[in-house]
Amino acid sequence: MSGPTPPTIPAPNLPQPLRPMTSDLPTKGIVFSIMGSFLLTLNDTIAKLLTEGWPVGEIMALRGTVILCVIIGLLKLKNRMHALRIQNKTAMGVRALAISAATFTFLTALSLMPMADALAIVFISPVISTLLAIAILQEAVGWRRWTAMGFGFLGVIIALNPGGLLSSAPAAYGWQVAMLPLVAALLTAIRDVSSRRLVSGDDSLAIMFYTVLAVILSGYATATTGTWQMPELFDIALILGAAAFMFGAYFFQIESFRFAPVNLIAPFRYISLFFAALMGFLVWGDVPSWNMAVGGLVIVASGLVIWWRERQQAAKTEPAHEA
């Protein structure tokens, strides 16, 4: 004889997680990375113009202040101020410190050397990112992708000819100056790996908020070491433009790591070469040389090989559809 049926206990109504998680959408991650690179190139162009007469710290502080105000406004508009509660505090702290130091060193490099040379040296960061991703994130990288990345870096050297390595003309700066973008490349790689950790549980605007806040504080900290000046109307326009481009670049770069791994996204930063060549022609009337054209083709080929390999691997892991 069976006893009375126990009452049914309803399942608890658990709220859905508010924080976005990472997903495997490599094509979307690549597109976001390219968009971020384009906006970052526009920002670098304005920054190069500003460093001709402005202290680096003032550029960092004023540009960052504009971006921070926009971020706060968006968070309030979306009623998402609670998103500022970061889960991965250690990764956020590493990212904020890395990007602050990278911004300062790269802007200083822009004030002391040609932008093309600085970019060429900074583009070693994808290789460093891959090494860190293997060591820290345990991401798998096959020999084909390593080869493609190597050719991509070779294309950067061919295209930009840093320090006149492909000619007998000596560089116009010392090795101490060349170390600045190299340090920036290392810090950028650290930023990329920490970004992959952050996007697995934290809001993109929140990541941007603390990153920009660190850059602002670093910039204002240099106020006593240089001669700051009152910006004129044209300077304010440049700062606003740089802030808009930097905001967009930050957002797309962070979002790119939400949809694809570091070792896939990093090589597509090379696309900035084409954007830089375009800006050079539009702003200064520069025509790309033969080595820029050849190097650009090598870079594009390496990026397409990496993308194709990722698509092949994704196709192998997809479950077969039922007939």
In the chain, what percentage of residues exceed pLDDT 90?
Answer: 15
Q: In sequence order, what DSSP letters do the residues of 155-188 get, joined into one string?
A: HHHHHH-GGGTTSSPPPSS-HHHHHHHHHHHHHH
Instruction: Please name the residue that has the structure tokens 């084909």.
Output: 144
Name the average pLDDT for the chain: 77
Question: Tell me: the pLDDT tens digits for 3-40?
Answer: 555 454 444 443 444 445 556 678 888 889 899 999 98
Q: Look up residue 234 and give its two tokens.
A: 């044209």
Q: Which residues of 16-45 are buried (b: 16+ CB within 10 A; e: fewer)?
A: eeeeeebeeebeebbbbbbbbbbbbbbbbb
pLDDT higher than 50, residue 315: yes
Question: Tell me: the pLDDT tens digits for 67-107?
Answer: 999 999 989 998 888 888 877 788 888 888 998 999 999 99
Read off the pLDDT of each residue in 120-128 and give the average, rounded to a whole number: 75
pLDDT for residue 14:
37
Contact 75, 83 (CB under 8 A): yes
- pTM of this prediction exceeds 0.75: no
Question: Tell me: the pLDDT tens digits for 158-180?
Answer: 766 665 656 555 556 666 787 88
